[in-house]
Amino acid sequence: MIARAPSAPSGETRPGPVRASAPGRVNLIGEHTDYNDGFVLPVPIPQRTQVELTVSSGDLVRATSADQGAAGSYTLGSERIAKSWLDYVQGVTFVLRAAGHQLGGFDVHFTSQVPMGAGLSSSAALEIALLRALREAFDLPLSDLELAQLGRAAEVDFVGVPIGIMDQMASSLGKPGGALFIDTRTLQTRDVPLPEALELVVIASGVLHAHDGGEYKQRRSECEQAAAALGVPTLRDITLEELEQHRALEPLLLRRARHVVSENARVLETIEALARCDRTRLGQLFAASHASMRDDYEVSVPAIDRLVSLAGERPEIVAARLTGGGFGGSVVMLAERGQGLASARAITAEYSLQTALSPSVLLPLE
């Protein structure tokens, strides 16, 4: 959401501070499918990253973060990996300049309610918030989809994290209160309403996750190996029935491929189940997705499995699964409307006793 100044001719800068923000996201279903040209179904969350940006003279960028408690600076054109939060700022200016957009120096301050390491895409929220502010400040002719593409490029080409485009598209194009279906091959999107009878619950497990670890890159490599062995461009291009006929595929690669192929099908079925508010089917689809991530893709951890199990013991929780890239992070649930917060509190209390971890209820908001 941008505090827009009056329009100015292209190439001019805004004289005063520009304020912009972008949300984090929770993925209802469709995990590790976006970098396989597949389907995803994320939902923007109320927690946002805010940016205040002021254009300055010269080419110096000065960035501060209330949440990181740190400051950093660099000169445009001399972006270098620093292995810190500043890399995401540098990545954005790097890809903008590489795409031919004219920038000048600026001062920028970040604040955020999107928790880091919870699998809710704090990095994409930062990238899109900053891109929105730079678009306004330097009058850049960029669409919301182009912002998402640039945000992903910043993370992949500069920071070096081989993610798909779901996070940035959800942050840039998603609308509050509903899900966004994304075909990550065509980049076509469709708004998907959530049933009024249900509400989202998101619980952070207390186990932090990061996409820059070797496991995430390994999973992507395994998917590419599986697609090559199957003779298809990506795992988007094969059905579950066709996959089951390839008995010669290495067992590990078969498991990785089976998750992606079956998860794509579950996304499409989930959209239909949401339209019918089919609680039974939603529960089955979420459970199958979680089992697939745990067993075939091997990205869950015991603490996450415990959270999902505790959710399954409560009748008011319709569905629950690991959300995000895995190796920690959060669990997303669908609950009967009006019962989500009380149920989440009960689940986290029992989870803390069983694991000695410190979970947090991120949705519903208190």
CATH code, domain carrying 116: 3.30.230.10
Structural domain contains residue 4? no
| pLDDT tens sequence across 28-63 | 999 999 999 999 999 999 999 999 999 999 999 999
The DSSP symbol for 356 reads: -
Whole-angstrom distance, CA of residue 174 vs CA of residue 180:
6
Q: Within 13 Å and on the Cβ side, how many CA atoms surround 302?
A: 4
Give the domain-ending residue among 159, 193, 227: 193
209 shares a domain with 174:
no
Give the domain-ending residue among 193, 217, 232: 193
Whole-angstrom distance, CA of residue 164 vs CA of residue 159:
14
- Domain tally for the chain? 2
Q: What is the dihedral of CA 341, 343, 344, 349, to 10 degrees?
A: 130
270 shares a domain with 151:
no
206 shares a domain with 178:
no
Nearest to 42 by CA among 53, 55, 26: 26
Q: How confident is the model at residue 343 (pLDDT cuts 50, 70, 90)?
A: very high
| pLDDT tens sequence across 224-277 | 999 999 999 999 999 999 998 887 899 999 999 999 999 999 999 999 999 999
169 shares a domain with 204:
no
Whole-angstrom distance, CA of residue 229 vs CA of residue 238:
12
Mean pLDDT within 280-308: 97
220 shares a domain with 158:
no
233 shares a domain with 178:
no
The pLDDT value recorded for residue 212 is 58
Question: CA separation (Å) from 195 to 35, 177, 318?
Answer: 28, 10, 12
308 shares a domain with 172:
no
The pLDDT value recorded for residue 246 is 85
Nearest to 202 by CA among 358, 344, 355, 346: 344
CATH code, domain carrying 232: 3.30.70.890
Q: pTM of the entire structure? A: 0.92
83 shares a domain with 25:
yes
Q: Is the pLDDT reported for residue 354 higher than 80?
A: yes
Structural domain contains residue 90? yes
Residue 75: Cβ within 10 Å count = 11
How would you class 114 by CB atoms within 10 Å of its CB: exposed for 0-12, middle for 13-18, buried for 19 or more? buried
Q: Both tokens of residue 176? A: 């509050």
206 shares a domain with 184:
no
Give the domain-ending residue among 193, 211, 238: 193
216 shares a domain with 178:
no
Range of the domain at 277: 198-363
| Percentage of residues of the chain with pLDDT beyond 70 | 95
Structural domain contains residue 344? yes
The pLDDT value recorded for residue 211 is 57
Structural domain contains residue 259? yes
Residue 194 contacts residue 177 (beta carbons within 8 Å): yes
Nearest to 31 by CA among 214, 288, 245, 228: 288
Structural domain contains residue 7? no
277 shares a domain with 185:
no
Nearest to 147 by CA among 12, 155, 119: 155
DSSP tally for the chain: helices H, then strands E: 10, 11
Whole-angstrom distance, CA of residue 119 vs CA of residue 114:
10
Structural domain contains residue 12? no
| pLDDT tens sequence across 117-167 | 888 899 999 999 999 999 999 999 999 999 999 999 999 999 998 899 999
Question: Is 167 an active-site residue?
Answer: yes
Q: Is the pLDDT reported for residue 77 higher than 60?
A: yes
Catalytic residue (choose from 34, 37, 139, 167) = 167
221 shares a domain with 188:
no
The pLDDT value recorded for residue 1 is 38
Mean pLDDT within 280-303: 98
